[in-house]
Structure 1
């Protein structure tokens, strides 16, 4: 079986490696638009941007791994078309045949429209190695940076900028930062942390437009104020990269729609990672996380080889900001109340419930709460809110 993987990120790399680990002997070709070998993205907005990590440490595998495993990498060569009838992909002037095609195309950052200055020099997104390399020279002490968007990517970039001595302003259109993904308790905790480090957060504040002729010089806000900036980082979310799938006639539904096994509407095409949506607890979800990219890709690799095992997602996420390590287990969608736990050592965690059911936990530099919460959720156990708030030894709740 000839396998072609379009997308050389976390999911693509995991899928290729798993195919070989499971004994697949046929040709594997992995195609990526970036010139760098498969690498991890989370450190881009943290350790790499801070200068604490070299590029080689980002790489998921040593370069000789791919050669040793007989995996052909085609990097810096985007796929221009998929022909489902002929079962081929086109890369430049080359046509590559496949028996099974995996789409691990990931996601693309949402950008500001050119009409409001999104195309000015000095405006950046944080998604790729190239993005971060382009902006690193901007991070000089005392310079002014505006960050558009108070989600995790924007706040991580704000933390790095503040640590490097820049003057940082975060613009969030919603009433509070992290509103789409976290409870007010988590927002309050993170907001206070940034305030302690001198970051200015403007909530319920939209961007009317960026200012400048050819290079950004500032921003006009929705309330009419104008604030100066030496550069701008846009962190307003990402969208699944579905262009190739759509052109090939593959069904979409908040991403590339797959069944429980990772197969798309075309029986020879599979999908995994940020770009894929899949059945989950009677609905359909798409997860943007390293954990899902790896787990789903490995499940798809097994199913390509005939395992026929539905993918069971176990969502977890993390974010590093200043000295805070925020670890998240579960999905908080549909929660109706939050339980706050403060441990004797001062560690704090927020536990999401819907009725009596535990849905998720946000652990604020509290690895014990995260590990116990993750195990409880995986096991389908829901201690009472009173037990979460008062039990001294959380591990006792696992018994």
Structure 2
């Protein structure tokens, strides 16, 4: 049968497509806007028809009906990474969490260490060869497709057809539904004077010709805004967003100096505006790949001059970063921070930046602390940390002694807290 014939045979309403799910199945859903809203809404509405079904995902962007503590015996969520939609459930205990480096999620799926029975995903319209593009998030979804019993797509004309290893053929699809709703747009985070100050410190340390990995958040975006005078930057990242698109349009990102995948931007998921999604469509300079390719420290580290910029919430005197929890309460997840810190450390000429405001809660709490709060999940280890940046300066920690690290971090703490930090360091025999 032709690809068009198969398409028509498999096309149905979302309410019918979800019936491929069996009790006990785990449904894998892509990162963020790669999630299929029509399918997940239909699943939510029919959730009481199922038992022991799990939806596994990084960063859900909508709070669907199945995010319900009263119906977890029917359909429950398991987080690879928490978002605003799932965070409360994680902190209350009715949403569970799988700790893992983002780069290793495909491996966990491939080795049957985490299940993938069904895949639900957004997809572009089918091309003339019978292929769809999962441009919004290739991440761990491509690995799940290889393992899953069935794959169900939500086909939407607003999803770009991107290049890279992010394609699936109609013959691999069990069912599909159609929607034409706009892809959810996520605006740039708010940037204030603290973020701008941190951004300037980092931007001043990024040379022309560097390859960038840029995490999500106000400070990474503040760095991007201050790179407009650079030349011939490259991109090898996990998330492509509006900031990167802006640098491309300004002629700052050319990828001409990249020695690894010369001339190409690489990413594993997209999060931004309608303009970004249109920018991705058949763009020969951009490729979307699975996360075990984009985030693998060995592969990403083959980029010379890789500069990785990621945020944390708390750092202690040894340089341990607590980026994903508030004490023992989960807040986000491991994600790709450690992947790219290690990649930048491997890179010839690379730099790994961890950025954070010096304080929290209106300057009442120092984010630089003697020891991490009890129960805090360590995201980047003391052995991997390199540059730490606050609005008060830069501390370079890699290769430094414990005493040198402590002194450098106190030097970039908020002045109001430096005295008490020094007293704590003396009691710890670090000063």
TM-score, L = length of structure 1: 0.27
More strand by share: 1
